Amino acid sequence: MLILRHNTLPSDELFVIECKMLKVADASQPLDGLIDLVLLDMPRTEIYGYMLGLFERLDLCKAIGITSSELLDFLIDVDRGYLPNAYHSFYHAADVTIVLFAMLSDYDAKQYLTSVDMASLLIAALCHDIGHPGKNNNFQVNIQTDLAKRHNNKSVLECYSCTLTMDLLTKHQLLQHIEEASANTGTPTTEAEARISIIKMILATDMIFHYELQENLAGLLEIISDRECTETEKEEGANRECGHGTAGHCKGPQTWDKPRIKDIFYNRNFTNPLLYFESKLHKSISGPIGGSEHPSTPGTITESPATIHGSTNHTGSVNLLQTPDSANDGNCLSPCKLLSKLEREVLCQIMLHAADISNALRPWSICKTWSNLVCVEFFGQGDAEKAFGLPISPNMDRGQTTQATISLKFGDYIVNPYFEIFAAVFPKSDRLLQLLAENRKEWARLESNESAANAGHTAEEGGIEGHLPPKILPDHPILDPAGRRVSTSAGMIVIPSPDEMERRTVGFGKAQRTYWGVRSASHSEVPRQNGPHSYILEEKKRRKSEEPALYLRKLQLNASGRRVSPAEATERKAKRHNSTVPSSASSRQDNKPL
């Protein structure tokens, strides 16, 4: 029976919640089609029951020492912390949580994580956009809201979501028993460590870190492939040929000369968003972390969650930051499989970001519905920027861009490269790439049907080009391509220019994938030595005609939606060119960029 301490719900609603929870939690019954699940039509009671059921199905409440009633109490307050935005609402948070559960269960990601990791991941998913005002970081910084000033213009809304999350964890004392509970599972974790992990996950949802996370994902693919091969050799003998195709060569992490992943929050500069929370965890946490201040500047939070109070008995000094070299620590592997603590932490950040940008590769009806809601917020921000006399952000001018154009660029340049690597790590998720290709055909069809006036003004022409504003970037080196700025549902990102990209191949065998990475990636730019699944980098000196173009130009789609290799695309173009004798006009057309 569910009993609430901080909130009240009618008994009939509690009954509905509990029935749904028990149904979803029943491991003897299959829980299929999570990627196809539509939450927007569900009443709150069903969503609450679904969330509780997911935690119970993986036994995550027990892992952190709470009851389902305590989780429900927390969940209700999380829901109240979300504002009634078109897209960044509690429905989005619950949807991201559903996608993550599918990744854990259906795509086998849980084999690399502990129960505490998974519990922290789902809590971070539920809270990752709490308090979001429906207008992005760039808007907050441009009009210098209270939030932007408080957080030094860095990851403004992510920091605010972290603050509200920590306040709720304190109010509900949700992690006060985690050390004892986690010790029983063989992975002792303090409350401070769990809070740090959740904070990092939420901060990493800032699109500023997209390419860092993509490079870390490629690095994890190498780590997992290398260690799985090593384990196979241990079990079956070093003389047996492993999946790499060579007998007896795999030596584990020590064969690599550089760290293959890095903590994206390693610097100690005062503008690092993580440092805002470090002092909060050096002493006992009592009362709301963020204080009672709530911004009232137009465009920020106009209605704030209720004041949150509570305390926890955890004390101690905490260092939230890792050195870059610590990312290569292969010791202290998890009892579940293969990964160290830092590697599991990075994997959680990668997965939360993947779920946050997953709308493009959901079934078409779901993809289109979420895209509709994204555009409501985008064009609303564009209208507000116009009212403030600000330049309108890319993709947000309702008169100069279209929904189809926004969705095509988002899928081609951001989602596809990221999930190509993700599917190499988790092969069962390959269906997501198939859905992305199917959705692309639908968006292309819609784009072709739009009026010539709208189709002639894309976000690339009407938006602001160049680097992201330096004031919103972290001060440590970060992948900041000199391409065009593009707004996405999760924030603003720069699409790299062709000369900043290079073709990389990661993995081996069925897990081998090719993607276009940013050349300035500090932990990927040096070719690996003696590694069968090392990065294969294209020569940096090449003819202009061979320079890598944007992702879609090289990884084209044929009429059926199948991905065409760059070599095949070049061969087809050559055949088309040689089949006719072009006039001067057609020659100009042939030379036009794709």
199-229 pLDDT, tens digit per residue, is 999 999 999 899 899 999 999 998 888 777 6
Mark whether 524 and 588 lie in a shared domain.
no
Q: Is there a domain that residue 421 lies in?
A: yes
Select from 150, 142, 107, 273 the least CA-distant residue to 206: 273
Mark whether 452 and 479 lie in a shared domain.
yes
Number of domains forming the structure of the chain: 3
Below-70 pLDDT ranges, the chain:
229-259, 267-271, 279-337, 451-501, 506-513, 515-594
Mark whether 314 and 412 lie in a shared domain.
no
Q: Is there a domain that residue 39 lies in?
A: yes
CATH number at residue 157: 1.10.1300.10
Largest interatomic CA distance in the chain: 80
Q: Is there a domain that residue 383 lies in?
A: no
Three-state SS sequence of 454-484: HHCCCHHHHCCECCCCHHHCCCCCCCCCCCE
d(CA 456, CA 464): 17
Alpha-carbon 123 to chain mean position: 15
pLDDT the model gives residue 492:
60
d(CA 500, CA 495): 10
pLDDT the model gives residue 246:
43
Q: Is there a domain that residue 180 lies in?
A: yes
Select from 393, 368, 425 the least CA-distant residue to 491: 393
List phi, psi (to 5°) of 405: -65, -45
pLDDT the model gives residue 457:
46
Mark whether 467 and 513 lie in a shared domain.
yes
Residue 526: CB partners within 8 Å, gap ≥ 6?
257, 258
For residues 37 and 98, the answer to whether their CB atoms sit within 8 Å is yes
* 215 φ/ψ sector (left φ>0, alpha ψ -120 to 50, else beta): alpha
- By the 10 Å C-beta count (0-12 exposed, 13-18 middle, 19+ buried), 219 is classed as buried
Cβ count near 233 (within 10 Å) = 20
Select from 500, 501, 517 the least CA-distant residue to 211: 517
Cβ count near 294 (within 10 Å) = 17
Mark whether 538 and 581 lie in a shared domain.
no
Q: Is there a domain that residue 345 lies in?
A: no
Mark whether 304 and 409 lie in a shared domain.
no
What tens digit of pLDDT does each residue of 112-125 get?
999 999 999 999 99
Mark whether 404 and 534 lie in a shared domain.
yes
List phi, psi (to 5°) of 484: -95, 140
Q: Is there a domain that residue 222 lies in?
A: no
pLDDT the model gives residue 317:
45
Mark whether 313 and 401 lie in a shared domain.
no
* Residue at token pair 């769990």: 194
Residue 430: CB partners within 8 Å, gap ≥ 6?
423
Helix (H, G, I), strand (E, B) or coil at 502: strand
Mark whether 66 and 162 lie in a shared domain.
yes
Structural domain span for residue 445: 392-563
List phi, psi (to 5°) of 342: -65, -40
* Residue at token pair 């901080």: 6
pLDDT the model gives residue 494:
62
pLDDT the model gives residue 448:
87
- Identify residue 415 by its one-letter amino acid code: V
Mark whether 534 and 421 lie in a shared domain.
yes
pLDDT the model gives residue 504:
72
Select from 419, 422, 427 the least CA-distant residue to 509: 427
Mark whether 506 and 474 lie in a shared domain.
yes
DSSP bridge partners of 286: 311
d(CA 221, CA 205): 20
Q: Is there a domain that residue 94 lies in?
A: yes
d(CA 485, CA 496): 9
pLDDT the model gives residue 425:
93
Mark whether 59 and 195 lie in a shared domain.
yes
pLDDT the model gives residue 585:
37
pLDDT the model gives residue 281:
66
d(CA 150, CA 540): 43
pLDDT the model gives residue 309:
30
Q: Is there a domain that residue 511 lies in?
A: yes
pTM for the model: 0.76
d(CA 531, CA 45): 52
